[in-house]
Amino acid sequence: MKSLFSRSIALIVLTAGILTSCTDKCTDTYKLIETVTVYKSLTDIRNSFDSQGPKEIDRPGKLYVFGDLLFVVDRFTGIHVIDNRNPSAPQNIKFVRLDGCTDVVIKGDYLYANSANDLVTIQMNQGIFTLVDRNENVFDLFETKTDSMAIDKIEVERWVTDESYDCEGSGFTFGVQDDNVAVLDAGSGAESRGSGTGGSTARMTVVNDYIYAVDNLNLLAIDISNGADPQKAKVKDISSWMNSTIETIFPIGDYLFIGTTTGMQIFNHSVNPGNPAHESTAEHFRSCDPVVVQNNIAYVTTHGGARCGGARNSLYVYDVTNVKNPIQLAEYDMTYPLGLGIDGNTLFVCEDDFGLKVYDATNSTEITSNLLSELTDIRPVDVIPLNKLLIVTAKDGVYQYDYTDPSNLVLLSKVYEIKSI
């Protein structure tokens, strides 16, 4: 999170008895964003499911497209269901309350989501959503106490003034305080075969009869051949290999591309779907790391911050024709890249407070020299590019654009007006 600040020069007079000294001091006024952990009883979390009428979104999270329906996670509280047959006039039709929810995938008539560390199965039948199964403690995502769990992080903003350093000194080091409670965050353009489409920041995806999911430490393969009764098939601890935290998963063909805080890992699920085999790792500086892939080219953004570690803000491009030996083609300096999406030669990169950038990625070694357009009036977190429809989740709403002409994105709708940012 970027801190906003202003600097002024002041002459400070310090007086102690009759001794007076004059020293030039600098005063920083900046916005400090702190996080407050919210705990809730396990009983309340596990009794939170409720299929309700439509309601206004509060904190937009990950996106998932399934046919003409758009599912928008309201971070840590539930899932909004949107009729998106007409992207210029989307209709909010339902809210499914589910405490601790951050990710959603669908196959057939079943919706699967996390409720904090549990995996929940919800049957969808002609607009009726029914809870049919809850597998407890499948994921390692949220801090758990004896009878409660940390299911939310509330951001508290406050202005702070600091006058503690000489103007000629290095000044105040500002940033985000983070309490290390793991969270799942908002979504962009990955294809989940046999179901719907999620995003670059997704932690869950569906390939054939399996949900592949990542928590902080593990790659999980969950058998959903019996849709109403998921079976946890295999847990593979992959974080210890690279001393990293796992963040995202993106499926394409026979492979799973996994973003971690220290690099991209590639797994093959085709031989043994219940136990994907590790193919290779492409390491980078410690940062948060979503990844998307198309036509044997992988695009990876990295950004720093208290939770991610490091301060590397980059776009990496890899040739993954040989999945056992990814080759880095380029690295580009970015401002603060988050989610991303690729469609054909068009690359979309979300840069939070710095807007959405659209590039021509035809030449992998000259991407940032080929900026097609940018939107500076939104704060995007992730994107799903799908058949010339760009769905953007931002900190102030969910937007939809026509990108038939990538150099001129046309706003079709803002799905929600957000109650709070």
Tens-place pLDDT, residues 274-302: 999 999 999 865 556 799 999 999 999 98
**Residue 35: per-residue pLDDT:** 67
**Residue 144: per-residue pLDDT:** 82
For residue 48, what pLDDT band results from cuts at 50, 70 and 90?
Answer: very high
Residue 309 has pLDDT above 70, yes or no: no
**More confident of the two residues 189 and 48:** 48
Residue 8 has pLDDT above 60, yes or no: no
Q: What percent of the chain has pLDDT over 70?
A: 76
- Lowest mean pLDDT segment, chosen from 96-110, 178-192, 263-277: 178-192
- The helix (H) or strand (E) run that includes residue 121 is strand 118-125
- Lowest mean pLDDT segment, chosen from 87-96, 260-269, 357-366: 260-269
| Closest of 193, 228, 186 to residue 212, by C-alpha | 193
CA 86 to chain centre: 26
Query: Could you please report the per-residue DSSP string of 209-267?
Result: TEEEEE-SSEEEEEE-SSTTS-EEEEEEE-HHHHT--EEEEEEETTEEEEEETTEEEEE
Reported as a single tens digit per residue, the pLDDT across 104-152 is: 999 999 999 999 999 999 999 999 999 999 999 999 988 888 788 777 6
- Lowest mean pLDDT segment, chosen from 42-46, 238-242, 343-347: 238-242
Q: What angle do CA 250, 349, 289 make, to 5 degrees?
A: 45
**More confident of the two residues 203 and 20:** 203
- The helix (H) or strand (E) run that includes residue 46 is helix 42-46
CA Rg value for the chain: 22
Q: Report the alpha-carbon distance of residue 147 to residue 377 in Å, rounded.
A: 44
Residue 181 has pLDDT above 60, yes or no: no
**Residue 313: per-residue pLDDT:** 86
**More confident of the two residues 80 and 233:** 80
**Residue 49: per-residue pLDDT:** 98
Neighbours of 176 (CB within 10 A): 15
Segment 80-105 shows an average pLDDT of 96
The pairing of strands 104-107 and 91-97 is unpaired
The pairing of strands 69-74 and 60-66 is antiparallel
**More confident of the two residues 175 and 39:** 39
Q: Which CA distances in Å does 317 have to 116, 201, 327?
A: 33, 17, 8
**Tokens (6 digits) for 8:** 């002024």
Segment 401-418 shows an average pLDDT of 90
**More confident of the two residues 157 and 104:** 104
Residue 7 has pLDDT above 70, yes or no: no
The model's pTM: 0.81
Reported as a single tens digit per residue, the pLDDT across 210-243 is: 999 999 889 999 999 999 999 976 788 876 666 6
For residue 350, what pLDDT band results from cuts at 50, 70 and 90?
Answer: very high
Q: What does pLDDT average to over the chain?
A: 81
CATH number of 48-142+182-414: 2.130.10.10
**Residue 150: per-residue pLDDT:** 75
Residue 179 has pLDDT above 50, yes or no: no
**Residue 373: per-residue pLDDT:** 98
Query: By the 8 A CB rule, do 152 and 249 touch?
Result: no
**More confident of the two residues 419 and 35:** 35
- Lowest mean pLDDT segment, chosen from 21-30, 71-80, 321-330: 21-30
